[in-house]
Amino acid sequence: MMEVFSPSLMKLWKEWELRAMVITSLVVQILLISLGKRRKSSSKRRVRAAVWCSYLLADSVATIGLGILTNDLADIYDKGGSLDLSTELKATWAPFLLLHLGGPDAITAYSLEDNQLWLRHLFGLIVQTIVTIYIFFMAWTGSLLSKLTIPMIAAGSIKYAERTWTLWRASAGELRDSMLTSPDPGPNYPKLMDEYSLRKFEGFLVTIEEVKEDAQELDITAPERTTSDQHNIIKATVMFQTFKRLFADLILSFKDKEKSQHLFEDPNMSSEDAFDVVAIELGFMYDLLYTKAKVNYTRFGLVCRFTTVLLTCLALGLFSNDDLKKYEKADVYITFLLLVVAILLEICAALLLLCSDQTSHWLIKNNRTFIIRVTRCLTSLIDQKRWSGRISQYSLLSHCLEERPGFKILEKVQLMWPPRSHVEFDGSLRDTIFSYVKEKFEAQKGKVGTNLRDLCRQRGKSILQKYEDKFPAKLELEWSIDVEFDQSILIWHIATDICYNSDLQSDTKIGQCREASLLISKYLIYLLLFYPRMLPSGIGLIRFQDTVAEARRFFKERQASSGAKLVNRRKLLRAWRFFKGRLFSYRAHQLMSVKDACSMLVQVKTDVYPSKVKGDQSKSVLFDACKLASTLKGISDEEVKWEMIREIWLEMLSYAASQCGGTQHADQLIRGGELLTHVWLLMAHFGITEQLQISKGHARALLSAN
């Protein structure tokens, strides 16, 4: 057979294959500890892609390295040869590969599904530890080099066991069980009834009185000279102990709800502080699900960390005292690199642990002022954000007006990752959302016989009823709300875009309402397209595709009839730009501006409902949106109109947040966090959640005889 690789190349690979695996494993560990926690505060795809590749590569490379090392030792013994110094030194790398299988503290699971595979990791822990010990005995010579393997095997086993235990504790069933409160059997009813009957038989006047339990206050006291951020950390830590149950699909009691409401309805609680508390809580949840926080913030975890660092330093000392001249230089350098980098990674992990909000809470409570100042300086250097603070945006009309690449395969690739934009979550929108949620809570609280859970089911109709008295004539708008939620989002999104681009711009209150309406509109469309599981189930993607198809046909027909010339680009030029990596970065050619497109849509006559003309085969809602836009443009008072549109979008946002399950919200934490998750937890703090105890329950009973 013809040889693909030359003998010299094969010999070179044989010499460097194990070295390459070890160095690759080390580089992957560095990437994971530097990028693992960064994904909590970054929504960039390249960060997630790098973490994903590193996470999958880490276990594979370490396992392959152990396999190569085992095979090399077996070949030596099969041939009846003696163990050379180079192989003896390479055998000491096995514990480091076991250490790498334990992974860094910054990431134990890439997604929630990885936590469910804890049993597989337990099996891997047992097998890989046995393989490492097997390599240790096969390479044992009694030398100083063989002895330094012992502490590293212990350190590697500890790290791998930590990871497996953390995955088990973060799995769905174990997480739910750990959040259950202690069983409460209540008063002894049979005993109370026996005593009641006996006293009544003896002639006493027996009554049963209800004794109300004293309400427990939240312990959010902070030392003097505490900053606002530090006070928020204390509040978030207390709140998290209760509200983390929402992520396990457990319910909150009335006591939990009342404590949280008392804290968040405080006039001193600003919108910035409220969202900061929510962000800190979500950060705690991220650490609980995806890092070794469950181990690190315990005495046992601190002991394990100190032990692994001490054992690694001991191995470094033993190796430094050996006669290194007898080994190959490349192997000596790699061994030193493994030891030094292992210690440096532990130091980096300790610094990240010191700068975390959990550690800050302990320092604040124990009034460790000097250490707090040190951690504040370190945090400013690390620039550790709690979430991305970015809101993704997507416009259906802009998407329809883009001229797609000519090659089908490129078009399909681009459809998998459509272009999107981001805006910062600024103070104006934050104040708007907080004020809306607080006003809804206060309005409902003042009504007798109402339930806060009813607010979770409102998605626009209550706003239309609120504004119907402000219009001179009755407007037919309820049809756009009474349809399925995804259909309602699409209709209102296009209508809002049309009204936004058709009306005159304003810097006053009207302008703020317009901007907030368009922002939330584009955000919900982004969720519908990219993360439909976060919204109520429906056929939103089918409606989106049909609407896009009808819109493109409409714009091309109108442009052709107006005599406008389409600017066509060469297919080869587009392909060249794609292969240069600019498919997602260059601005695609547009048929026309969005403003011109909206002007065309406004001119469409919609006297008859489009569904009566088109039937039900096509799910497009383009001209339903045109009809809604025409009705909205008939409102003369611009301020009232845009206030109503903004509040409808706020109610849709709150409805979407409350209907999304805790598991879906937890899954978005690894993508920089979503505004929808923050709104969901904020609403829960006001008691506006489906996961709430319906009946208040009864007080404790006390028997009284006179």
The pLDDT, as a whole number, for residue 179 is 87
Sequence-distant (≥ 6) Cβ neighbours of residue 182 within 8 angstroms = none
Answer yes or no: are the C-beta atoms of 88 and 141 closer than 8 Å: yes
pLDDT surpasses 90 at 281? yes
Helix/strand/coil for 679:
helix
Give the integer Cα–Cα distance in Å for 591 and 577: 19
**What pLDDT band is residue 581 in, cutting at 50, 70 and 90?**
very low
Structure token digits, residue 138? 């096969």
pLDDT surpasses 50 at 565? no
3-state secondary structure 291-321: CCHHHHCCHHHHHHHHHHHHHHHHHHHHHHC
Q: Write phi, then psi, for 539 (nearest 5 degrees).
A: -110, 45
Give the integer Cα–Cα distance in Å for 199 and 119: 58
pLDDT surpasses 90 at 533? yes
pLDDT surpasses 50 at 574? no
Please write the tens of the pLDDT for every residue from 442-470.
Answer: 888 767 656 788 888 899 999 998 888 88
The pLDDT, as a whole number, for residue 3 is 66
Tell if the pTM clears 0.75, that is, is over it: yes
Task: Give strand pairing partners of 700.
Answer: 211
pLDDT surpasses 70 at 47? yes
Query: For the residues 333-343, what does the mean pLDDT come to?
Result: 94
Please write the tens of the pLDDT for every residue from 76-110.
Answer: 887 776 778 888 899 999 999 999 999 999 999 99
Answer yes or no: are the C-beta atoms of 156 and 99 closer than 8 Å: yes
pLDDT surpasses 90 at 212? no
Answer yes or no: are the C-beta atoms of 250 and 244 closer than 8 Å: no
The pLDDT, as a whole number, for residue 415 is 47
**What pLDDT band is residue 706 in, cutting at 50, 70 and 90?**
low
**What pLDDT band is residue 340 in, cutting at 50, 70 and 90?**
very high
Tell me which of 27-41, 175-189, 275-289, 525-539 is least confident: 175-189
Query: For the residues 205-216, what does the mean pLDDT come to?
Result: 67
Answer yes or no: are the C-beta atoms of 58 and 106 closer than 8 Å: no
The Cα diameter of the chain in Å comes to 109
Q: Locate the domains of the chain by residue range.
A: 7-178+296-345, 460-560+590-659
Q: Write phi, then psi, for 426 (nearest 5 degrees).
A: -85, 175
The proportion of the chain whose per-residue pLDDT surpasses 70, expressed as a percent, equals: 88
Task: Give strand pairing partners of 590.
Answer: 402
Tell me the helix, strand and coil percentages in the chain, rounded to 5: 70, 5, 30
| Per-position b or e across 338-351, b if 16+ CB within 10 A of its CB | bbeebbebbebbbe
pLDDT, averaged across the chain: 85
Q: Write phi, then psi, for 692 (nearest 5 degrees).
A: -135, 140
The pLDDT, as a whole number, for residue 409 is 47
Q: Where are the beta strands (DSSP E) in 159-211?
A: 206-211
Angle 291-257-254 from CA coordinates, rounded to 5°: 120
Cα distances from 452 to residues 203, 278, 370, 449, 686, in angstroms, run: 47, 20, 45, 10, 9
**Backbone dihedral region of 395: left (phi > 0), alpha (psi from -120 to 50 degrees) or beta?**
beta
Answer yes or no: are the C-beta atoms of 656 and 649 closer than 8 Å: no
Query: For the residues 245-262, what does the mean pLDDT come to?
Result: 88
Q: At 452, which amino acid appears?
A: L
The pLDDT, as a whole number, for residue 704 is 67
Give the integer Cα–Cα distance in Å for 192 and 209: 12
Please write the tens of the pLDDT for every residue from 298-337.
Answer: 899 899 999 999 999 999 998 998 888 888 999 999 999 9
The pLDDT, as a whole number, for residue 475 is 78
Tell me which of 89-103, 556-570, 589-603 is least confident: 556-570
Give the integer Cα–Cα distance in Å for 667 and 663: 6
**What pLDDT band is residue 584 in, cutting at 50, 70 and 90?**
very low
Give the integer Cα–Cα distance in Å for 670 and 112: 10
pLDDT surpasses 50 at 530? yes
Please write the tens of the pLDDT for every residue from 503-519.
Answer: 777 668 888 999 999 99
Structure token digits, residue 225? 């000279």
Cα distances from 483 to residues 18, 54, 608, 623, in angstroms, run: 62, 45, 17, 15
Tell me which of 39-48, 175-184, 410-419, 425-434 is least confident: 410-419
The candidate with the shortest Cα–Cα distance to 233, out of 369, 351, 349, 359, is: 359
Answer yes or no: are the C-beta atoms of 35 and 50 closer than 8 Å: yes
Cα distances from 416 to residues 396, 413, 530, in angstroms, run: 15, 5, 9
Query: For the residues 361-366, what does the mean pLDDT come to?
Result: 87
Please write the tens of the pLDDT for every residue from 128-159.
Answer: 999 999 999 998 888 888 888 999 999 999 99
pLDDT surpasses 60 at 231? yes
Query: For the residues 617-634, what does the mean pLDDT come to?
Result: 91
3-state secondary structure 312-379: HHHHHHHHHCCCHHHCCHHHHHHHHHHHHHHHHHHHHHHHHHHCCHHHHHHHHHCCCHHHHHHHHHHH
| Per-position b or e across 687-700, b if 16+ CB within 10 A of its CB | bbbebbeeeeeeee
The upper half-sphere exposure of residue 634, i.e. CA atoms within 13 Å in the direction of its Cβ, equals 13
Tell me which of 289-298, 313-322, 362-371 is least confident: 362-371
The pLDDT, as a whole number, for residue 264 is 92
Structure token digits, residue 317? 């000392």
pLDDT surpasses 50 at 569? no
Tell me which of 374-378, 638-642, 664-668 is least confident: 374-378
Within 10 Å of residue 302's Cβ, how many Cβ atoms? 14
Please write the tens of the pLDDT for every residue from 380-430.
Answer: 667 678 899 999 999 999 988 876 554 444 444 454 455 678 999 988 999
Give the integer Cα–Cα distance in Å for 283 and 355: 13
Structure token digits, residue 30? 């560095």
Q: Which residue has the tokens 């070179």?
A: 12
Q: Exposed, middle or buried by CB within 10 Å (0-12, 13-18, 19+), for 18?
A: buried
**What pLDDT band is residue 367 in, cutting at 50, 70 and 90?**
confident
The pLDDT, as a whole number, for residue 216 is 62
Cα distances from 557 to residues 325, 512, 550, 553, 624, in angstroms, run: 80, 35, 11, 6, 19
Task: Give strand pairing partners of 206.
Answer: 705
- Gap between the terminal Cα atoms of the chain: 107
* Eight-state DSSP code of residue 472: S
The pLDDT, as a whole number, for residue 403 is 65
